[in-house]
Amino acid sequence: MKPDTSTGHRGLELEEPLLFELDSRDHSGVDLPEPDLSNNRLGGLERTAPIGLPGLSEPEVVRHFVRLSQKNYSIDGNLYPLGSCTMKHNPRINEKIARMSGFADAHPLQPESTVQGALEVLDTLGHWLRTITGMPAVALSPSAGAHGELCGLMAIRAAHTAKGDPRARVLVPESAHGTNPATATLCGYKVDPVPGNDRGRIDLDAVKAKLGGDVAAIMLTNPNTLGLFEDEVLEVAEAIHSIGGYFYCDGANLNAIVGRVRPGDLGVDAMHINLHKTFSTPHGGGGPGSGPVAFSEPLAPFAPLPQVVKDGDKLRLIEEKTGEAANSIGRLRSFHGQMGMFTRALAFMMSHGADGLRQIAEDAVLSANYLLSQLQDDLSVPYPAPCMHEVLFDDKFLEGTGVTTLDFAKAMIDEGYHPMTVYFPLVVHGAMLTEPTESESKASLDNLIATLKFLADKAKAGDTEHFTEAPRLAPRRRVNEAAAARNPVLRWTPPSPVADAAG
Ligand SMILES: *Cc1c(COP(=O)(O)O)cnc(C)c1O
C-alpha cells in the first residue's frame, strides 16, 4: 500500500531508497586531486572506466544510514519476545567498560607484560564461569554458541581418539536447535535423533535403547528448547557415562538457571555459554557473540588454545601444544576471542554480583510463567505449566480460524511488536516460543499480554483478513521469504535510460 503523500514518507517515518538509487555518478562527496592517469603503476591493469560507486555527499550518506538504523526494531525500542535468543536489556555500563582505551585499544600482539590488565579480565571471567558452571576448566575463545559446540565436540572427539576409540554416533534430541546436529555432522559424526516424551522432555528409555559402544556423546539442551527443565538429566548423564560417552550440554538457556543450578553437578562434560544471551550484549543483528566452553575434568586436557595461567603474580598465555597443553585441540580462531564481549560480560557479572545473577534466573522464569498464566486460556499451551524462562504456545487456538502462526506473528508487527520465535522448535505444530527475559517490567508484560489477547480474540471472531493482510501498517508489506532465499538479488542493475524514459 503506497502512502497517499507526495514524498512517499509517512509522517516522520521516512522512505529510504538504496544507496545506488540515491546517487548521481558525476558527483563526489570529497575533493580529491585529479588522478594521474599516465602513471602506469599497475603495469597496464589500470581502470579505464569509472567503477560506478555512488557519488554522495557526507550529509547524504549520514542521512541514509541514520534512516535505515531507525527502521531497525531493537530491544532499546520495545520488548523483543524472540524465544531462544534472550533479547534482554543491555546495561550501558557494559559499553562504557568495553570502550575503555586500555581494553579497546589493546593490540593482541602486544607483549604480555603490557596487557596484564586485559589478561586479568580473561582470568577473572574464566573464574566466574567456572564457578557458575561448577566445572574445572573453561575455554574463552569460541566466537558464538555454535562455535562453542564445535569446540566441545572437537574436544570430545580428541578424548575418544586419545583412547584409540573415536566412535561414530552422537545422540541429539529431536527438539534440539539446528546447530546441534550441524555441529555433530561437521565433526564427522552420524546424528542419531532421540524423540521426546509426552511431557516435552527427552525420552529416557529411547536414550537407553540407542546407547552402544559407538556412541561418542549426547547433546542435550537444558532447559530444553521447549522451555522445560530436563528433569531426568541425572539419569541421562549416568546412562551416557555408563557406555563411556560424554555429556555435551547446549547451555544457550543458562539464563533460566544461572546461580541456581551448576551444570557440573548434573554430570555435564562440556557446555557452551552464550555470553551474548545470558550476560547481555546487543546481539541479533549480526552483533558480536561469544561462546566460551566449560569442561569437566576428563575433557579439560583437550581444551583449545590459548589459555591464560597464573605464574606467581603474573599472568601468561599458553599458545603452544606443549607441556601442560600437549593434548589441546589447538586454536579455533585468531588471537584470544571477542575481547569486547569478555569485558561486557564481566562488567555485567560484577555489577550484578552472585545474588543478582541468581535473581536474573528467578525473574526470567517468573516473567515467562506470568505470560503463561495470563495467556493459557486465550492461546494454547502444548505442555502443562510451569515453564522455565520461555513459554511455548502452539497453534491449536487458531484451529478453524484460517489464521496461521505466521499470520498471527505478522499481525504483531502492526501492533508495534517484534514477533516471538515462530515454527521453532519444529516438534511443536505452529510453535510460538516467547521469551520475555527478566528485564521487562510488569507493565510491559501486561501490554504484551493485552495485545496477544486482542489478536487471539480477533482471530477467533473470524476477522481473518486482519491477519492474512498483515502487516498492513509497516513500511513494507509481507515479503515472499521463499523467493528472497531462492532468487536472491545480489546485484543492483541501474535501469537503462530507455526504460527510464518510458517510466
Ligand atoms: C542461540 C542458540 C544456539 C546458537 O548460539 P549462537 O551464539 O547463535 O551461535 C544454540 N542452541 C540454542 C538452544 C540457542 O538458543
Counts of helices then strands in the chain (DSSP H, E): 16, 12
Among 147, 183, 274, which is best to mutate for testing ligand 1, by the most ligand atoms less than 8 A from CB? 274
Look at ligand 1, atom 7, and give the residue with the nearest C-alpha. Answer: 145
Among 143, 179, 257, which is best to mutate for testing ligand 1, by the most ligand atoms less than 8 A from CB? 179
| CA 86 to ligand 1: nearest atom | 15
Is it the case that residue 132 has pLDDT exceeding 70? yes
| CA 250 to ligand 1: nearest atom | 11
Beta bridge partners of 415: none
Pairing, β 190-194 against β 169-173? parallel
Band (pLDDT 50/70/90 cuts) for residue 502 is very low
φ and ψ of 12, to 5 deg:
-90, 10
Mean pLDDT of 277-295: 89
Look at ligand 1, atom 3, and give the residue with the nearest C-alpha. Answer: 145
Distance between Cα 274 and ligand 1 center (Å)? 7
Distance between Cα 309 and ligand 1 center (Å)? 29
Dist CA 366 CA 372 (whole Å):
10
Q: Which domains does the chain have, with CATH numbers?
A: 92-349 (3.40.640.10), 360-486 (3.90.1150.10)
Distance between Cα 37 and ligand 1 center (Å)? 52
Using DSSP's 3-state secondary structure scheme, residue 95 falls into: helix
Question: In Å, how far are 18, 71, 480 from 484, measured between CA atoms?
Answer: 17, 19, 6
Dist CA 284 CA 276 (whole Å):
9
- Of 317, 326, 274, 266, give the one whose Cα is nearest residue 296: 266
Look at ligand 1, atom 6, and give the residue with the nearest C-alpha. Answer: 145
Distance between Cα 180 and ligand 1 center (Å)? 9
Mean pLDDT of 428-443: 98
Is it the case that residue 500 has pLDDT exceeding 50? no
| CA 148 to ligand 1: nearest atom | 9
Look at ligand 1, atom 5, and give the residue with the nearest C-alpha. Answer: 145
Beta bridge partners of 410: none
pLDDT of residue 495: 56
Q: Cβ of 305: how many Cβ atoms within 10 Å?
A: 18
Residues in contact with ligand 1 (CB, 6 Å cut-off): 84, 144-146, 177, 179, 221, 225, 250, 252, 274, 289, 291
Distance between Cα 310 and ligand 1 center (Å)? 32
* Element housing 215 (H / E): strand 215-221
| CA 146 to ligand 1: nearest atom | 9
Band (pLDDT 50/70/90 cuts) for residue 1 is low
pLDDT of residue 37: 65
Instruction: Say if CB 375 and CB 453 are below 8 A apart.
Output: yes
Distance between Cα 395 and ligand 1 center (Å)? 24
Reported as a single tens digit per residue, the pLDDT across 69-99 is 888 899 999 999 999 999 999 999 999 999 9
C-alpha grid cell, residue 156: 570430545
Reported as a single tens digit per residue, the pLDDT across 174-188 is 999 999 999 999 999
Handedness of CA 435, 438, 441, 443 (dihedral sign): positive
The distance from CA 424 to its chain's CA centroid, rounded to whole angstroms, is 14
Question: In Å, how far are 123, 147, 201, 272, 295 from 151, measured between CA atoms?
Answer: 19, 6, 26, 9, 10
Mean pLDDT of 393-412: 98
Using DSSP's 3-state secondary structure scheme, residue 190 falls into: strand
The distance from CA 450 to its chain's CA centroid, rounded to whole angstroms, is 28
pLDDT of residue 324: 87
C-alpha grid cell, residue 25: 555518478
| CA 144 to ligand 1: nearest atom | 7
Dist CA 373 CA 388 (whole Å):
13
- In this structure, of 151-155, 255-259, 479-483, the range with the lowest mean pLDDT score is 479-483
Band (pLDDT 50/70/90 cuts) for residue 53 is confident
Among 150, 174, 177, which is best to mutate for testing ligand 1, by the most ligand atoms less than 8 A from CB? 177
Distance between Cα 276 and ligand 1 center (Å)? 10
Is it the case that residue 286 has pLDDT exceeding 80? no
Is it the case that residue 283 has pLDDT exceeding 60? yes
Distance between Cα 291 and ligand 1 center (Å)? 9
Band (pLDDT 50/70/90 cuts) for residue 275 is very high
Q: What percent of the chain has pLDDT over 70?
A: 96
Look at ligand 1, atom 2, and give the residue with the nearest C-alpha. Answer: 252
Band (pLDDT 50/70/90 cuts) for residue 158 is very high
- Of 149, 155, 141, give the one whose Cα is nearest residue 334: 141
More confident site: 476 or 386? 386
Q: What percent of the chain has pLDDT over 90?
A: 79
pLDDT of residue 481: 83
Band (pLDDT 50/70/90 cuts) for residue 494 is low
The secondary structure of residue 472, as a DSSP letter, is: S
Distance between Cα 272 and ligand 1 center (Å)? 9
Is it the case that residue 501 has pLDDT exceeding 50? no
Distance between Cα 182 and ligand 1 center (Å)? 12
| CA 276 to ligand 1: nearest atom | 7
Mean pLDDT of 96-107: 95
Among 149, 150, 174, 250, which is best to mutate for testing ligand 1, by the most ligand atoms less than 8 A from CB? 250
Distance between Cα 172 and ligand 1 center (Å)? 15
Mean pLDDT of 293-320: 96
Is it the case that residue 46 has pLDDT exceeding 90? no
Pairing, β 215-221 against β 169-173? parallel
Is it the case that residue 195 has pLDDT exceeding 90? yes
Mean pLDDT of 29-40: 74
Kindly give the interhelix angle for 339-375 and 442-460, rounded to the nearest 10 degrees: 50
Distance between Cα 86 and ligand 1 center (Å)? 10
Amino acid at 378: D
Reported as a single tens digit per residue, the pLDDT across 309-352 is 999 999 999 999 999 899 999 999 999 999 999 999 999 999 99
The distance from CA 480 to its chain's CA centroid, rounded to whole angstroms, is 24
pLDDT of residue 39: 67
**What average pLDDT does the structure give for the chain?**
93
Instruction: Say if CB 183 and CB 153 are below 8 A apart.
Output: yes
Reported as a single tens digit per residue, the pLDDT across 355-388 is 999 999 999 999 999 999 999 999 999 998 899 9
Spell out the alpha helix ranges (H) of 42-144.
Answer: 58-70, 92-98, 101-104, 116-133
